[in-house]
Amino acid sequence: MHKETNIRSIAKGVSWRFIATGTTIVIVYVFFGRLDLAIAAGMIETALKVGLYWGHERIWHKVRWGKEKIEPFNLWFTGLPLSGKTTIADRVYTELEKLSIPIERLDSSEIRKVIPNIGFNREDRTRHMHRVGYLIKTLQNNSISTVASFVSPYRESRKAIREMVKNNIVVYVKADIESCKKRDYKGVYEKAIHGELKNFSGINDVYEEPRHAEIVIDTDKVSVDEAVEIIVEFIKKKYIK
């Protein structure tokens, strides 16, 4: 939830020295000023101060001052079905998690599994986007960043997300529709072409290309590894000090 600032740690260093050196001087004074005894005192000091240090830590643990809220961001992956959004987003999520950033992964198909009966027409999608936006916003209130992957074919709904959340980074995973069809291991393009799936973005419904994406990944030119590096570097530079 929080990270510690430099100024907080410096203040802890100063406050601890007051306690520790004060204790040493008092002990040495009690032993009447001989070095051998002062070293002996150092031993006693060692034992004592571990206890004091611990108490000091516990007191600081209660103090909120000097703790800084982590600024959350939202990585929003958009693109045609099977463009590679989920693959790249999963890898980016894993890399960002390693950096100890409080982060949550949101994937369209996962959410659709949990929340039943969300349609695919324009109205249903837009309503769904509002719910997802609310979820992201609530997580952001609690300093949690998000890695979200949704086809999100309409400009309007992507704009709604941008207005609801802060530090929104649109990643457009650009793939030629022919390439997507070739990757059609789920058989969904096949079904859409034969009219068995309706409102399928790119086939029988539009996919409105983003015009203001912060990052564009052209999957015909950039490998998954490279894409992950580009995105993680972007986040590191902008949001991780």
d(C-alpha 210, C-alpha 51), whole Å: 59
- The number of beta carbons lying within 10 Å of the beta carbon of residue 172 is 22
Of residues 18 and 185, the one with the C-beta less far from its own copies: 18
Segment near its own copies (CB under 8 A); pick from 23-31, 183-191, 195-203, 207-215: 23-31
- Active-site pick, 108, 145, 149, 152: 152
- Token pair 């979200």 in the structure block, residue: 148
For residue 98, state whether it binds its own copies (rule: CB under 8 A): no
Residue from 221, 88, 219, 202 nearest 152 by CA: 202
For residue 13, state whether it binds its own copies (rule: CB under 8 A): yes
Residue from 79, 40, 67 nearest 210 by CA: 79
In terms of residues, how long is the chain? 241
For residue 138, state whether it binds its own copies (rule: CB under 8 A): yes
d(C-alpha 82, C-alpha 186), whole Å: 9
For residue 53, state whether it binds its own copies (rule: CB under 8 A): yes
Residue from 133, 153, 140, 23 nearest 83 by CA: 153
The single residue among 90, 95, 97, 104 that binds its own copies, judged by CB under 8 A, is: 104
For residue 178, state whether it binds its own copies (rule: CB under 8 A): no
Using CB under 8 A as the criterion, what x/- string covers residues 30-49 for binding its own copies?
---xxxx-xx--x--xx--x
The single residue among 68, 115, 182, 198 that binds its own copies, judged by CB under 8 A, is: 115
Active site residue 152: yes
* Least distance between its own copies and beta carbon 91 (Å): 20
Segment near its own copies (CB under 8 A); pick from 101-109, 150-158, 170-178, 199-207: 101-109
Cβ–Cβ under 8 Å, residues 146 and 170? no
For residue 84 the two structure tokens come to 């590679």
For residue 159, state whether it binds its own copies (rule: CB under 8 A): no
E strand residue ranges, 42-138: 67-69, 74-78, 103-107
62's enclosing H/E stretch is helix 35-62
Segment near its own copies (CB under 8 A); pick from 79-87, 141-149, 172-180, 225-233: 141-149
d(C-alpha 27, C-alpha 22), whole Å: 9
Binding positions for its own copies, rule: CB under 8 A: 1-4, 6, 9-10, 12-14, 16-17, 20-21, 24-25, 28, 33-36, 38-39, 42, 45-46, 49-54, 57-58, 61, 64, 100, 102, 104, 106, 111, 114-117, 127, 130-131, 134-135, 138-139, 141-144
Q: What amino acid positions are annotated as catalytic residues?
A: 152
